[in-house]
Amino acid sequence: MNVDLMRKVDYYAGVPLCFLATFIVKLSQLFSTAGKPKRVLLVELSEMGSAILVDPAMQKLKNVAGAELFFVIFDKNKPSLKLLNSVEDQNIFTIRETGIIPLAIDTLRFFWWTRSRKIDSVIDLELFSRYSALLTGLSGASNRVGFHAFHNEGLYRGAMLTHKVSYNAHQHIAKSFVGLVNALLSDKPELPYSKTIVSDDEIKLRQAVVSAEQKAAILAKIREDYADFDATKQQLVLINPNASELLPQRRWMKDRYAELMRRILAHSKTAIVVITGAPAERAEAEALRVAVDNARCINFAGRVKFTELPPLYSVSRLMVTNDSGPGHFSSVTPLQTFVLFGPETPALYGSLGNSTPIYAGLACSPCVSASNHRKTACSDNVCLQAISVDKVFNTISPLLPA
């Protein structure tokens, strides 16, 4: 299903289903007893980057509560959980979003799966999704934590939660995720949860372990595409010009990426510009490579597996990317990353790694939020058009190789 169809289904089917499910949930609560969280399921379906941003919260569940972790995610996004391997593979449940029927079948399988795994607690990480609310409320878990609308209009999700957390739109989402964990671990009822302080130290990310062999394998792939590559004299500059279909307004213009790459190559004779992306994005990456027209610019889209991203980042000098998954995937490595923000703000969704946001900060930005299900009416992303090639080049040039 495309993103707009999923939003419509979530609203038109989700609201009445949440209303009906509320009665089932309230009835089941009469026969359930809440206990300490031991087998905790996290629900994060649609954003690959969020699977990285939630890792500090997952580590707190492990280290403070000694909980065993489980995760449910859309099938296509599962690889994002493998970068840090916080959840064992047998504890990950995937849901196909390719159509209504596969979605319905996997949803029914999910309800059996949670009960067979004796899940006692669920944390809904989604921002006011009715579908995730239904998964949470009907999971059979006695502890159910998530964001609740309270007096906000238009965000109805029924009464699925035992721990209702007030969503804070003024702090980084990683801190909000830790706040959900704090609510689950609270030793007394609160309204709303979570009346706790989350420090910057609590959202520090672990780093991926990358072996010398993995790095060597990546460098060998680079040589396949650029035979003259010499890792002792040349350095890789990564360019990720893509962004997911969830919010296409996050994409900086392709002609500006092409001009930026030409400037990088003219400035640095030892730079190899590597255009990254998924296999489906290879044709677009090739068009960019042709536009740059330089032997030191290579199309690397689809050339590495998802699990090979940390080795690629570990052998590179820097990366310029749209506000999308790679900005978060690189945060598990020391790579200096520059992220172009437009309809979203780095204050809430900035990378937790070695990252520099580039953000025009228009009066209308950010225009997507939890309250509009991250869907904007804007069809003219001036917020990214306002970021010039000069601005990006001048920001990254101090770190470019000579």
- Looking at the whole model, is its pTM more than 0.75? yes
What are the tens digits of pLDDT across the range 109-137?
999 999 999 999 999 999 889 999 999 99
Number of domains in the chain: 2
- Closest by CA position to 259, among listed 293, 283, 234, 282: 293
Asked if 198 and 241 sit in the same domain, the reply is no
Asked if 90 and 233 sit in the same domain, the reply is no
The domain boundary residue, chosen from 174, 203, 232: 203
Asked if 197 and 216 sit in the same domain, the reply is no
Contact 308, 332 (CB under 8 A): no
What integer pLDDT is reported at residue 397 of this predicted model?
96
Asked if 162 and 218 sit in the same domain, the reply is no
What integer pLDDT is reported at residue 240 of this predicted model?
96
CA distance 339 to 190: 37
Residue 20 is encoded by which pair of tokens? 């009906």
What integer pLDDT is reported at residue 263 of this predicted model?
98
* pLDDT tier, 159 (very low <50, low <70, confident <90, very high otherwise): very high
Residue 1: pLDDT over 90: no
Asked if 300 and 185 sit in the same domain, the reply is no
What integer pLDDT is reported at residue 375 of this predicted model?
81
CA distance 355 to 248: 22
Residue 158: pLDDT over 90: yes
Asked if 173 and 228 sit in the same domain, the reply is no
The domain boundary residue, chosen from 182, 203, 224: 203
What integer pLDDT is reported at residue 2 of this predicted model?
76
- Span of 53-57, 89-93, 154-158, 160-164 with lowest mean pLDDT: 154-158
What are the tens digits of pLDDT across the range 232-261?
999 999 999 987 777 788 899 999 999 999
What integer pLDDT is reported at residue 318 of this predicted model?
98
β-strands 297-299, 68-74 pairing? unpaired
- Span of 285-289, 369-373, 375-379 with lowest mean pLDDT: 369-373
Kindly state the average pLDDT of the residues 259-285.
96
- Closest by CA position to 400, among listed 296, 273, 314: 273
Give bridge partners of residue 147 from the DSSP assignment. 165
Residue 366: pLDDT over 80: yes
Asked if 262 and 143 sit in the same domain, the reply is no
What integer pLDDT is reported at residue 175 of this predicted model?
97
Residue 28: pLDDT over 90: no
What integer pLDDT is reported at residue 122 of this predicted model?
98
What are the tens digits of pLDDT across the range 199-242?
999 999 999 999 999 999 999 999 999 999 999 999 999 999 98
CATH number at residue 174: 3.40.50.2000
Asked if 235 and 361 sit in the same domain, the reply is yes
* pLDDT tier, 47 (very low <50, low <70, confident <90, very high otherwise): confident
Residue 370: pLDDT over 80: no
Chain position carrying tokens 């067979």: 116
CA distance 369 to 110: 28
Asked if 251 and 188 sit in the same domain, the reply is no
Kindly state the average pLDDT of the residues 156-173.
94
Alpha helices in 167-308 (DSSP H): 173-185, 212-225, 254-267, 282-292
The domain boundary residue, chosen from 153, 175, 203: 203
- Span of 1-15, 128-142, 159-173, 375-389 with lowest mean pLDDT: 1-15
Percent of the chain with pLDDT over 70: 100
Asked if 26 and 91 sit in the same domain, the reply is yes
Asked if 241 and 365 sit in the same domain, the reply is yes
What integer pLDDT is reported at residue 210 of this predicted model?
96
Residue 192: pLDDT over 90: yes
Q: Average model confidence (pLDDT) for the chain?
A: 93
* Phi-psi sector, 85: left (phi>0), alpha (psi -120 to 50), beta: left
CA distance 58 to 67: 9
Residue 44 structural domain? 3-203
* Terminal-residue alpha carbon distance, the chain: 47
* pLDDT tier, 360 (very low <50, low <70, confident <90, very high otherwise): very high
Q: What is the DSSP string of 56-108?
A: HHHHHHHHHH-PEEEEEEEGGGGGGGGTTT-S-GGGEEEE--SSHHHHHHHHH
- Span of 5-14, 88-97, 288-297, 359-368 with lowest mean pLDDT: 5-14
Asked if 57 and 171 sit in the same domain, the reply is yes
Residue 44 is encoded by which pair of tokens? 């994060």
* pLDDT tier, 351 (very low <50, low <70, confident <90, very high otherwise): very high
